[in-house]
Every structure is written in structure tokens, then in C-alpha cells.
């Protein structure tokens, strides 16, 4: 029986509620494994991690690779869930190959075999993933430059702060500061991201009008509470 170690990745809050969300990816992978008579050996994920992040920041992926045995498959919904940088992706593939395993995409993408045509397909898919990442990065940079020319604030206002009346400086937002302190305290007690999100939602604490999820908790917890 085929063994599949499922890996999912989500880099932004928006993806949580889209077709690229962790749950959507997991469902796709589980359905693929079931259709192919496979056994799921483990489920791993990287939450709030960019596809261009270095391997040392990909703890979920590293755990997935470490779990692989000879003949196993590392299953993803799409190849860009592994990485959007060709060099990083090549390193991932080399690590998987050394384990005697292979990468399988539930979307196909040339992962069905190692025939020349399949390898070409994989390289094309990877190139388009990198192209998409670079286009998004370029558009974001241009948008920020346009705002600066209009003398508008060009950066995201960190959670826990708000724009002061002068339209330039930041000041503490009391309610968000309290939420930040709660998150940091729960994190210090090793409470999981999902449990923290559930706890915040149960007390009707909002993430600027939206419910909390594991990714938004992670992103906010990386900030620091102002003294």
C-alpha cells in the first residue's frame, strides 16, 4: 500500500478563507490518497510561512521530510505549497530523494513519473509559481511607492496600534494591546495557535472585525506589545 505524508502550507490570512487554505489543501490530499488506495502516514503543515522562506524556517516541512521512509510519498495539493523559489524547491526535492521517497502533487503537475515530459512539466509549473510571486512583489512595491508620493502612510499598521490624529504617527490601541498580552501569555504556556484562536473567539475578541484563526494568531504574536 502507498504511504502518503501530507504537507500543507498557508502564508497569509487571506488564504485561510480561500481555496488555498490549510483545510482545503488537506481535503484535496486526503481525497487523493483515498482514491489511490493509500495510507496517510502523517499530516504536517507550515502556517503563516512564505513560499520563499528558507528551509530553516520550514519546521513543518522538515518534520514531514524527516518522517519519510523508502518508498513513501510526500503529498501536496500543489507544488507551490512546497516553495515558490526554484532553488529552495530543488533542495527540498534532493532531501526527499535521499530518503528514497518522491513528491506527489494531487493536481498532477508532472509528478506522476520521471519521464522527460513529466520533468519538463514540473519545471514549467515551478517557473510560473516563481513568476507569480515576483509579480505580486513588484505590484506591492509599486503600490507602496505611489502612496509615498501622495504623502500617505505606506505601511501596515501593526496590531495593537492605530493611526494618530495627525495622520502620520502611531499610538497604542488599548483593546488590541490587551488582546496582544493575552496571546503572548498563552503562547508562553505553549498553548497551540488553534487553541488560542478558539479562546479569543469564545470571548468575542475580534481581529479588527474578523474572527481569529491559527495563521492570524501567529502573525500577530510575532509582534511585540508596546511597553
Q: CA 28 to CA 108: how far, in whole Å? A: 12
Same domain, yes or no, for 110 and 178? no
Same domain, yes or no, for 184 and 95? no
Q: At what angle do helices 193-202 and 174-188 cross, to 10 degrees?
A: 140
Whether 147 shows a pLDDT value over 70: the answer reads: no
Q: What is the largest CA-CA distance in the chain?
A: 65
Would you call 40 helix, strand, or coil by DSSP? strand
Sheet bearing 102-105, strands edge to edge: 39-47, 3-10, 73-76, 102-105
Q: CA 105 to CA 74: how far, in whole Å? A: 8
Same domain, yes or no, for 14 and 107? yes
Same domain, yes or no, for 18 and 124? yes
Mean pLDDT of 96-116: 89
Same domain, yes or no, for 103 and 201? no
Same domain, yes or no, for 10 and 98? yes
Same domain, yes or no, for 18 and 79? yes
**Residue 75 belongs to a domain:** yes
Whole-prediction pTM value?
0.59
Q: Total structural domains in the chain?
A: 2
pLDDT band at 154 (very low <50, low <70, confident <90, very high): low
Question: For residue 126, what pLDDT is reported?
Answer: 75
Same domain, yes or no, for 122 and 203? no
| Domain of residue 188, residue span | 161-221
For position 77, which CATH number holds?
3.40.50.1390
The DSSP annotation for 187-200 comes to: HHTT--HHHHHHHH
Same domain, yes or no, for 102 and 179? no
Q: CA 80 to CA 129: how far, in whole Å? A: 6
pLDDT digits (tens, 9 = 90+) for 5-29: 999 998 865 455 454 688 899 999 9
DSSP 19: T
**Residue 151 belongs to a domain:** no
Amino acid at each position: 500500500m502507498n504511504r502518503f505524508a501530507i504537507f500543507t502550507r498557508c502564508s497569509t490570512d487571506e488564504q485561510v478563507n480561500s481555496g488555498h487554505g490549510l483545510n482545503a489543501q488537506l481535503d484535496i490530499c486526503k481525497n487523493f490518497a483515498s482514491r489511490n488506495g493509500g495510507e496517510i502516514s502523517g499530516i504536517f503543515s507550515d502556517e503563516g510561512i512564505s513560499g520563499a522562506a528558507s528551509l530553516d524556517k520550514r519546521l513543518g516541512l522538515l518534520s514531514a521530510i524527516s518522517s519519510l521512509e523508502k518508498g513513501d510519498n510526500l503529498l501536496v495539493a500543489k507544488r507551490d505549497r512546497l516553495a515558490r523559489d526554484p532553488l529552495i524547491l530543488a533542495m527540498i526535492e534532493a532531501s526527499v530523494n535521499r530518503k528514497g521517497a518522491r513528491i506527489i502533487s494531487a493536481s498532477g503537475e508532472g509528478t506522476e513519473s520521471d519521464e522527460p515530459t513529466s520533468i519538463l512539466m514540473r519545471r514549467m509549473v515551478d517557473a510560473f509559481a516563481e513568476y507569480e510571486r515576483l509579480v505580486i512583489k513588484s505590484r506591492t512595491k509599486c503600490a507602496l511607492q505611489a502612496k509615498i508620493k501622495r504623502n500617505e502612510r505606506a505601511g501596515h499598521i501593526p496590531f495593537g496600534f492605530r493611526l494618530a490624529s495627525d495622520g502620520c504617527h502611531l499610538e497604542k490601541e488599548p483593546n488590541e494591546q490587551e488582546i496582544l498580552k493575552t496571546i503572548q501569555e498563552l503562547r508562553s504556556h505553549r498553548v497551540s495557535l488553534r487553541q488560542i484562536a478558539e479562546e479569543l473567539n469564545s470571548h468575542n475578541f475580534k481581529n479588527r472585525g474578523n474572527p481569529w484563526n491559527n495563521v492570524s494568531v501567529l502573525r500577530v504574536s510575532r509582534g511585540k506589545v508596546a511597553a
